[in-house]
Structure 1
Amino acid sequence: MTPLYDADDFPAMTERRTDAIRDALLTQLRTEKERKRRTLRRRLAIWGGIGCLVVGGAAVAGTAVVSSRQVTNHDSVYCFASAERGVNGEYDMSGATMYNPDGGGGRVENALELCTTMWRQGVFNPDHDPLAATAGTGTVPDHLQVCVMDDGAAAVVPGRPGVCQAVGLSPEKTG
């Protein structure tokens, strides 16, 4: 069947062609509305999720800043072996106090340095012998965070930022 053309050289508007165009337009109108609705819902879900992440991140950062404390007890420091509780429900840690030859207790000026030295000497190795004549060797964790105990003493915990809150301590306020 050869299409018929009108005087302007366009295909003739037959009843069959008119019906096909009408059906195509109605289908387009119906699906376009649904497509726009679906796109709007998708955008709302994505931007809502991003908004929740931003607000949540700001809240966590704000909590860390607000809950941070200054180290006030410089008499001792606690060095955690890990940020996980042992089978007895307690954290594995060692305490240290500086000796002052003039009498009385000494001041722990740099808790991070003291605990790093303890890690380097192998104090947290399972086979460490505290009575041995020579210090052993150990590996210092990649990340150590200074936290503050309830009594104001410094506690050094292996882990990334945020580990202080994870173990129930306040992060150290710097500055």
Structure 2
Amino acid sequence: MSPAYDRDDMPEMTTARTDAIRDALMTSIRTEPERKRRTLRRRFALWGGIGILAIGGVATAATAVVSAQHVTNTDGVYCFASAERGANGEFDMSGATMYDPEAHGGRVENALEMCRMMWRQGVFDKDHDPLAATSAPGRVPADLQVCVMSDGTAAVVPGRPGVCQAVGLAPEKTD
């Protein structure tokens, strides 16, 4: 059955057609606010996420540049065995200092070399016995970074650049 047409060659406005148009308009009116809210939420989530990522990236870059510090406490050095926390939540590390009787204390002039020496002596090997007369030589990690602890003491951590921030320390400022 084909629809009836009026004089202008338009479909005739029957009661059924009028009711269908009214139902379509009412459905559109009822669902339009929800569709707008959904669209607005999606846009907010998308642009908000992009904004957070951008701010985070800038903050991370600024932290890496701004937070570099000088070693101010040369009485000792901490040598980290790894850049990962142990089961107790602490880092496996060993402290060292050099004793100079003339200076009435110790001064660590080269933290990196001090920790390399400890690695070569096998201090960080699992089966190292500090009381043994001799021990097997240890392997020095390829990448060691000098970081600065909150009290200004040097801490040498195995890892690539950026490992200081990863373990919550400031990188050493070298200028």
- TM-score class, shorter-chain normalisation, is 0.5 to 0.7
Counterpart of 1:156 in structure 2 is: 156
Counterpart of 1:26 in structure 2 is: 26
Counterpart of 1:78 in structure 2 is: 78
CA distance in 1: counterparts of 2:94 and 2:116, whole angstroms: 13
Unaligned runs of 5+ in 1: none
- TM-score, L = length of structure 1: 0.66
Tell me how far 1:22 sits from its aligned partner.
2.0
- C-alpha RMSD of matched pairs (Å): 3.8
Contact 1:145 1:164 in 2 (8 A): no
Contact 2:148 2:170 in 1 (8 A): yes
Counterpart of 2:137 in structure 1 is: 136
Amino acid at match of 1:71: V
Counterpart of 1:108 in structure 2 is: 109
Contact 2:81 2:158 in 1 (8 A): yes
Unaligned runs of 5+ in 2: none
Tell me how far 1:155 sits from its aligned partner.
0.9
Mapping of 1:41-56 within 5 angstroms? Answer: 41-56=41-56
- TM-score, L = length of structure 2: 0.66
CA distance in 1: counterparts of 2:167 and 2:33, whole angstroms: 52
Amino acid at match of 2:137: G
Tell me how far 1:65 sits from its aligned partner.
4.7
Percent of residue pairs identical: 58
